[in-house]
Structure 1
């Protein structure tokens, strides 16, 4: 049995269909998690960086990436994770930021060039009504990468990404 010839572009296109397991409106490529794709005959290696080193969905991401590449007919798929360089919210694609907002999650402000986490975050805008009249209700949301807020204008609770 001969392995089909796949190109890196085909692999990237397949990975663009792999949803983030916690936010189904964005893919792992939208979030900037996929760092590299290499194709060597019937062997494909995909390297990704999780959003947080302790991400509870790490195994789901790894399995989903492998399944998407195998669906192209690739017999040998290696999925590697790397923490260097660490993931940053600056890697989230611009159109994905808008989909996050429409989904009800405040997208992160740019993290910038500083290697440090900013303690004083930029103002968070309500993803539902656009108001800056919001208050944080919890530093940690359902995942470590988000905070919980409530909008004092429209009274709706929402999650907001931390800028890292």
Structure 2
């Protein structure tokens, strides 16, 4: 018997397989961007996505890709919602997603910073951190550029193996 729950579970399995347009080794589920998939009383499949940041240029592509996959799986009525609250955090990247990043030479983020309630503290000096090299695991690395191919990544270089690598910044 087909139930609303079984339809929602099937639709979610479809949506979970959509790759991220900027990090194609990850699915939207790996990245933690796919928040929910539900089915309304009229049979509309509603997928909710939270972009990695409010100005993320890839959200339009994510929305289109999820809708296309769901329609391709036979769902006629599809709605894609963008949720901005709570904001996405790198803590939402799954363990499988972190493993896939490292396997592709991209250093996964550490824990997202915790901010107390109230005003955000102003920091005038650069934060010093150690980012392990995803290729040789050395901690002797340096940031070479705060921005990489996308705003959510930085460029780093390993002083031990000499290789450059990207690093997903904590948000």
**TM-score relative to the length of structure 1:** 0.90
Q: C-alpha displacement at 1:10, in angstroms?
A: 0.8
Q: Which runs of 4 or more aligned residues in structure 1 lie more than 2 Å from their structure 2 counterparts after TM superposition?
A: 112-122
Question: Which secondary structure state, in structure 2, belongs to the residue aligned with residue 29 of structure 1?
Answer: helix
Instruction: Tell me which structure has the larger Cα radius of gyration.
Output: 2
The answer to whether the Cα contact below 8 Å between 2:110 and 2:170 also exists between their aligned partners in 1 is yes
Distance in 2 (CA, whole Å) between partners of 1:127 and 1:93 is 17
Distance in 1 (CA, whole Å) between partners of 2:35 and 2:85 is 10
Question: Which secondary structure state, in structure 2, belongs to the residue aligned with residue 7 of structure 1?
Answer: helix
Higher helix share: 2
Deviations 1:119-159 (A, max 9, x none): 63642111111111100001111111111001111111110
Aligned residues: 161
* Matched residue, 1:13: 13
* Matched residue, 1:97: 98
Q: C-alpha displacement at 1:53, in angstroms?
A: 1.5
* Matched residue, 1:114: 115
The answer to whether the Cα contact below 8 Å between 1:109 and 1:122 also exists between their aligned partners in 2 is no
Distance in 2 (CA, whole Å) between partners of 1:13 and 1:113 is 32
The answer to whether the Cα contact below 8 Å between 2:91 and 2:112 also exists between their aligned partners in 1 is yes
Cα RMSD of the aligned pairs, angstroms, is 2.0
* Matched residue, 1:44: 45
* Matched residue, 2:22: 22
Within-5 A mapping of 1:11-160: 11-40=11-40, 41-114=42-115, 120=127, 122-160=129-167
Q: C-alpha displacement at 1:39, in angstroms?
A: 0.5
The answer to whether the Cα contact below 8 Å between 2:30 and 2:93 also exists between their aligned partners in 1 is yes
Identify unmatched segments of 5+ residues in structure 1. Answer: none
